[in-house]
A and B are shown apart, each in its own frame.
Chain A
Amino acid sequence: MLRQVASRGLAVLRGAAASQRTCTSRVSSSSPSDLLEQTRRLGALSREYSTALNLHRNTGDNNPEVPFEFTQANLERVKEVLSHYPKNYKQSGIIPLLDLAQQQNGGWLSISSMNKIAEIVGVAPIRVYEVATFYSMFNREKVGTYHVMVCGTTPCMLRGSRDIEAALLKHLGVDRNEVTTDGKFSVGEMECMGSCVNAPMIVVADYSNGVEGFTYNYFEDLTPESVVEIVEAYRRGEKPKHGTQNPERLNCGPAGGLTTLLGEPKAPPCRDLSAC
């Protein structure tokens, strides 16, 4: 019953919320003032979507008039990418080319860069926009030089990824998907990146040195303190040690040494081949 009242209230307020593209808005309180408060927070909720708006609006630094060209070195890479595919299936190279353009462009894809790729692979621009909007690793708005992505999927969440994110946002003084005023950092959300063993984890995409110096490193076994240290190390221009931050753990092995498989493993049962 509570949920019913709440969602009815929300339906009334949906007009305001609609523009925020809210989908998840389960509300747990029933009093009208609480409802209003919840609704005010819908703006924050809308950022739970990792994808941005699915349409492009021209801005000063992102419009088709702003030129985009691959650098000479990257043109070689373009050639290399296209060499993987048959000549009549050049569009297969859209994803690697978008990735390349994103790295060259400081972490995001401008409309001109997508148009350029469409031109290179010989398809209509919309076919490139479709791909770029589908994958959440393609940023269509500016991100920081170091784009920090926090895993928010269940194992990491159970191991405290929300605290990690809160610590990051508080330390950097930004909201999710917002860039710090110095342009150095931005925090986004990602779904499972496969490091559940060492949860919670983040990824830092480092766009400070273009395509050559691009790194995309995992930092695992984090605490709200260690994640701030990692960010600070990046700010100082260092390259913090990636992988697990737990000194007791080797890669994704158990912390504090092995707890199983201690002896020599038994050989698999095998037929006596020589007997044949």
Chain B
Amino acid sequence: MAPRCRRYPLPLPRSSTGSGSRRFISSPVDSSVAAGSGVAGAKGSTSKALNSGVAWYAGIRGKLYERKYGSDFYKWGSGASLGGVRHARVASMPAVGAKFDAKPEDCIEVSVDGKDVTVAKGMTVLQACEVAGVDIPRFCYHPRLSIAGNCRMCLVEVEKTPKPVASCAMPALPGMKIKTTTPLVKKAREGVMEFLLINHPLDCPICDQGGECDLQDQSMVYGSDRGRFIEAKRSVTDKNLGPLVKTVMTRCIQCTRCVRFASEIAGVQDLGVLGRGGAEEIGTYVEKLMVSELSGNVIDICPVGALTSKPSAFTVRSWELKSTESVDVSDAIGANIRVDSRGPEVMRVIPRLNEEVNEEWISDKARFAYDGLKRQRLNEPLIRREGQLEPISWPQALKTVAEAALKVNPDEMAAIAGKLSDAESMMALKDFMNRLGCERLWVEGNSEDTVADLRSNYLVNSTIAGLENTDACLLVGTELRIEAPLLNHRLRKAVRNSRAKVGVIGPETELHLKAEHLGNSTDILASIAEGKHPFAQTLSSAKFPTIIVGSGVLQRSDKEAVLAAVQTIAHKANVIREDWNGYNFLLLNAAQAAGLDLGFVPGSRAPVGDKKSIKFLYLLGADDLTPEDIPADAFVVYQGHHGDRSAYRADVILPGVAYTEKEGTYENTEGRTQQTSPAVPTVGDARDDWKIIRALSEIAGVKLPYDTLNGVRARMLAVAPNLFRVDELEPATPLPKESLPETKGKLDSSPFKRAVENFYMTDPISRASKTMAQCTAAYGRS
């Protein structure tokens, strides 16, 4: 009899602790605590270690970490050998999952495989096992989602219980004796696995999840080499979830992670469990796309190949990829990502864990815009001759630019840094322009006369993670879901967990959270500032009030009056205190915060306003200017990686590199410095952005005093020391109360405008992306 249920042995997931792990994501303090508690727990610590109220991390890993740190599923059978592996990993791994601040009196002792461990009350049996350093196989359990307890893979034996226990759904109780290596447990899990495989197709060779599939991995331990099921397998209709998520629903094992993700994290109640028994399936029942900026994350949480990435379908195998840890630049949140590349091509982008920034989610733009990196790229210097752009050599291009710059009076020069600029190139450009005598500089997204004097005025001071603590939040002139989906998710958590009240002044948008739209006019703002509006009361009675101002207000003519009104509200409602700063200014672009910290703003001598006087314009990947904004006689230099809007107006084009190709420093909207790492080689004849400016400065006769990346960073250290402290959050000093701004001008009655017209296309990369174009077509403005 031929074996019918043959499992295809695929290569193990790579153990990639070495590659690209330049540094770890959470702050050193966090990971050391995590390591300490994890190791202590595994060694059978007693409550002694807890006397100081140590933060307890259950060290629960989702799929991400299995992928990232290699899988030790293969060792589950023997169990006992886990200790060493576990220690090594915990020590180098960031804290993951449930975190408990447990005082000794809130702890209980349980025994796992004969080892006594102390865990916090309320932890589940599975979490207790994690503390003890014992991995429990699971499919439906996910530390960030509610507990479903329906896959039954996590069965363990508990002494004095008649049956195996689903450890994810069973609270650990004092004195519980948990056994995970007994023959009963093995047999129970094998039984569960056999049932899971009844209807799961054996198409691993053509499945995109192959090689990084939880079911495949766990079946290596608990699966049989043949099945006893001889009936026909069922098949399930595939669902259309839009251009991002590919579905092969026959592979689904009904763990309901995606259903819970959609309703609990993304806030879209579209997915559900339909039917019952053998006919049960996941779907939307009616034809409906999953409209969420976070929808791509269901690909990561799906433990099998039912939900996979549509854009990268059939293009990659997980073991072919080189992983590079990097940072997303598609918005100002600075989500931590892992860029997976094969040769010179970025094949996919997936999130990295950083509890402080993105947890383990990223937005769809961060995840899927990477195909834009392969289109519309500028790969050689170009010069405009008789209206046509022609290739030119680097020395000639730089000479042309230098000559044009030197011909012009410094007052008639200007430089704009684009949305994706890194701090190094902005530093170089600022130094270069200043040396030429020009002070007219600004970063896209900031207005032309932004003041960068008070750092707390342009940062999310509550911090991204801290926003979860808020109990009343006022949004001013921002569509949070579209401008920063991950921040919106934090606010949604606050609404869900502590019933935070959210009021919105600005364009009406579905935020996927319970919010009250107060109106779209500055009158409401004024009446809250005067204390007449009921929401003023809500804010001032809140324990942790927050205000989030969108940086779209910078484009208003009455921005000073608006900001003054917001600050009045902040002070009246005690939003800024010693122990809590809830005044948040949400930036839109990755370059903005670093630009402001570096003082990439117009100097005091710079002319403001009329762009007509500009004769020499240096665009560092800046594309938001319309051709009408640029005077016809101006000499325009475009340095960037994409032939986007402004490249069409440029007189000289200098090809730079994209964020996946360079080591660049970025600061996110809460003031956290992070760095990208080069994952793929540069395209054609393109050069690092700061190097281009450095070379140009030499030809223009104003040589910049640095020749290496470290040299630029040393200069940055002098200007903005926080940009040197990578992965650290530099909080801003709170605005003193007495420094209430003088109200300049009056509030304009015009409504707040949308800052982002189309979430899927905001920067040169996403505008060049086919996937993002498909999203725009499918979801519209969403």
Query: A residues bordering B, Cβ < 8 Å?
Result: 3-4, 7, 10-11, 14, 17-19, 21-26, 49, 51, 53-58, 64, 111, 123-127, 129-130, 133-134
Contact = CB atoms under 8 A, between A and B. Distances in A.
Contacts of B272: 126-127, 129-130
A133 B269 contact: no
Nearest to A140: B285
A55 B231 contact: no
B231 A25 contact: yes
B237 interface: yes
Given A23-B234, A56-B285, A129 B274 contact: yes
Interface of B: 1, 230-235, 237, 239, 263, 269-276, 278-279, 281, 283-287
Contacts of A49: 279
B231 A133 contact: no
A214 to B, nearest CB: 25
A22 B199 CA distance: 12
Contacts of B285: 54-56, 125-126, 129, 133
B230 A3 contact: yes
Contacts of A126: 269-272, 284-285
B279 A11 contact: no
Nearest to B229: A7
B269 A14 contact: no
A23 B278 contact: yes
Given A21-B279, A25-B232, A56-B287, 4 more contacts: A14-B235, A21-B234, A23-B231, A55-B274
A65 to B, nearest CB: 12
A130 B273 contact: yes
A54 B281 contact: yes
Contacts of A51: 275-276, 279
8 contacts: A7-B232, A21-B235, A51-B275, A51-B276, A54-B279, A57-B287, A125-B286, A127-B269
Interface of B is mostly: loop
Nearest to A57: B287
Contacts of B286: 55-56, 64, 111, 125, 129
B270 A134 contact: no
A57 B285 CA distance: 9
A23 B232 contact: yes
B5 to A, nearest CB: 12
A18 B270 contact: no
Given A54-B283, A133-B274, A7 B1 contact: no
Contact of A4 (B1, B274, B281, B284): B1
Given A126-B269, A126-B284, A126-B285, A11 B274 contact: no
Contact of A7 (B230, B279, B287): B230
Nearest to B285: A129
A121 B270 CA distance: 17
A123 B276 CA distance: 21
Contacts of A56: 285-287
Nearest to A115: B286
B270 A124 contact: yes
Residue of A4, A24, A58, A125 contacting most chain B CB atoms (<10 Å): A125
Contacts of B233: 14
B277 to A, nearest CB: 8
Contacts of A124: 263, 269-270
A60 to B, nearest CB: 16
B58 to A, nearest CB: 31
Q: Which 7 A-B pairs rank lowest in CB-CB distance, beginning with the nearest?
A: A124-B269, A18-B235, A129-B285, A126-B272, A54-B274, A54-B275, A133-B274
Nearest to A49: B279
Contact of B231 (A24, A111, A129, A134): A24
Contacts of B234: 21-23
B275 A134 contact: yes
Nearest to B239: A55
A22 B263 CA distance: 31
Contacts of A58: 287
Contacts of A129: 272, 274, 285-286
A15 B100 CA distance: 51
Nearest to A24: B231
B232 A14 contact: yes
Nearest to B250: A18
Contacts of A24: 231
B231 A7 contact: yes
A14 B234 CA distance: 9
Contact of A10 (B1, B232, B263): B232
Contacts of B230: 3-4, 7
Contacts of B237: 53, 55
B231 A26 contact: yes
A10 to B, nearest CB: 5
A11 B269 contact: no
Nearest to A129: B285
Contacts of B231: 7, 23-26
B283 A55 contact: yes
A11 B229 CA distance: 13
Contacts of B279: 21, 23, 49, 51, 54
Contacts of B281: 54
A114 to B, nearest CB: 9
B1 A22 contact: no
A133 B275 contact: yes
Residue of B237, B278, B279, B284 contacting most chain A CB atoms (<10 Å): B279
A64 to B, nearest CB: 7
B593 to A, nearest CB: 37
Contacts of A134: 274-276
Contacts of A26: 231
A134 B286 CA distance: 16
Contacts of B232: 7, 10-11, 14, 17, 22-23, 25
A106 B435 CA distance: 83
A177 to B, nearest CB: 14
A18 B248 CA distance: 14
A242 to B, nearest CB: 29
Nearest to B276: A134
A46 B287 CA distance: 24
A267 to B, nearest CB: 38
Nearest to A114: B285
B274 A130 contact: yes
Contacts of A4: 1, 230
A117 to B, nearest CB: 14
A125 B271 CA distance: 10
Contacts of B271: 126
Contacts of B1: 4
Contacts of A22: 232, 234
Contacts of B263: 124
A270 B234 CA distance: 59
Contacts of A64: 286
Contacts of A127: 269, 272
Contacts of B269: 123-124, 126-127
Residue of A10, A19, A26, A134 contacting most chain B CB atoms (<10 Å): A134
A126 B239 CA distance: 15
A54 B232 CA distance: 19
A129 B276 CA distance: 12
A124 B285 CA distance: 12
A97 B284 CA distance: 21
B111 to A, nearest CB: 40
Nearest to A3: B230
A227 to B, nearest CB: 28
Residue of A11, A21, A22, A54 contacting most chain B CB atoms (<10 Å): A54
Contacts of A55: 237, 239, 274, 283-286
A51 B285 CA distance: 14
A200 B285 CA distance: 35
Contacts of A3: 230
A55 B279 CA distance: 11
A58 B275 CA distance: 19
A49 B270 CA distance: 26
A10 B263 CA distance: 39
Contacts of A130: 272-274
A54 B280 CA distance: 8
